[in-house]
Chains A and B, each alone.
Chain A
Amino acid sequence: AQKVTQAQTEISVVEKEDVTLDCVYETRDTTYYLFWYKQPPSGELVFLIRRNSFDEQNEISGRYSWNFQKSTSSFNFTITASQVVDSAVYFCALSESLGGGKLIFGQGTELSVKP
């Protein structure tokens, strides 16, 4: 069975601090896809990134970076120099297929960035 665990329920940081959100997943599939979504206070779900299981290269996008390690089944998300606008709930998700596959979400991590 597939499962996503985000052990950090809430994280509070002060602006400009770096913060890492942890995500651990379980799957028996050899091909799978990992995602991060952001849910700001307004409630919508915003897609941030997708990684394929066969591509372990880390990715950086501005202040955001993602560390994918198959050996530890982790897909962690780091925000560098956090800003108040980063305050949101962040969800890690797993799917066995791309296009048509259901997403299995973690419980989410609520990040609060204080000025």
Chain B
Amino acid sequence: EPEVTQTPSHQVTQMGQEVILRCVPISNHLYFYWYRQILGQKVEFLVSFYNNEISEKSEIFDDQFSVERPDGSNFTLKIRSTKLEDSAMYFCASSERYTEAFFGQGTRLTVV
């Protein structure tokens, strides 16, 4: 069964460093998303991406964040200068035109 794959599963980084979280969405899907879940809290929308551009972003998704689809398979989230409060589980998701979103297993980001 096709699935969304995220790497790494866990990333530890020092405050102020740049991190790139990687995702391989399901191959025939058209819409791509990033969500964040701070430990013990609800899942929050960050950004959606369609046709090689951002279609919607939340207030959380400020200038520190960027997304890219560098080739036909990968979808990345970059955090330019990490802060302690960026520590969270980051989920990538993808969907077809008229279907629900399927999520990856998540990348746990720890900023120290």
Query: Is the CB–CB distance between A50 and B100 below 8 Å?
Result: yes
Residues 24-64 (chain A) with a chain B CB within 8 angstroms: 33, 35, 37, 42-47, 50
Q: Is A65 an interface residue (CB 8 A)?
A: no
Selected contact of A103 from candidates B35, B50, B89, CB within 8 Å? B35
Asked if residues A99 and B31 are in contact (CB atoms below 8 Å), the reply is yes
Interface residues of B in 65-112 (CB under 8 A from A): 89, 91, 93, 95-106, 108
Known contacts A44-B104, A44-B106, A100-B50: A91-B99 contact under CB 8 Å: no
Q: How far is the CB of B104 from chain A (nearest CB, A)?
A: 7
Q: CB distance A99 to B97 under 8 Å?
A: yes
| Contact count band on A | 20 to 34
B75 to chain A, nearest CB (A): 14
Known: A102-B45, A102-B58. A47 touches B102 (CB 8 A): yes
> For the complex, would chain B's binding face be called helix, strand, loop or mixed by DSSP majority?
strand
Give 19 pairs: A residue, B residue, CB < 8 Å, sorted on A.
A33-B100, A37-B103, A43-B106, A43-B108, A44-B104, A45-B91, A47-B102, A91-B42, A91-B43, A98-B99, A98-B100, A99-B96, A100-B30, A100-B48, A100-B50, A102-B33, A102-B45, A103-B43, A106-B42
**A residues adjacent to B (C-beta < 8 A):** 33, 35, 37, 42-47, 50, 91, 93, 98-108
Residues of B within 8 A of A (CB): 30-31, 33, 35, 41-45, 48, 50, 55-56, 58, 89, 91, 93, 95-106, 108
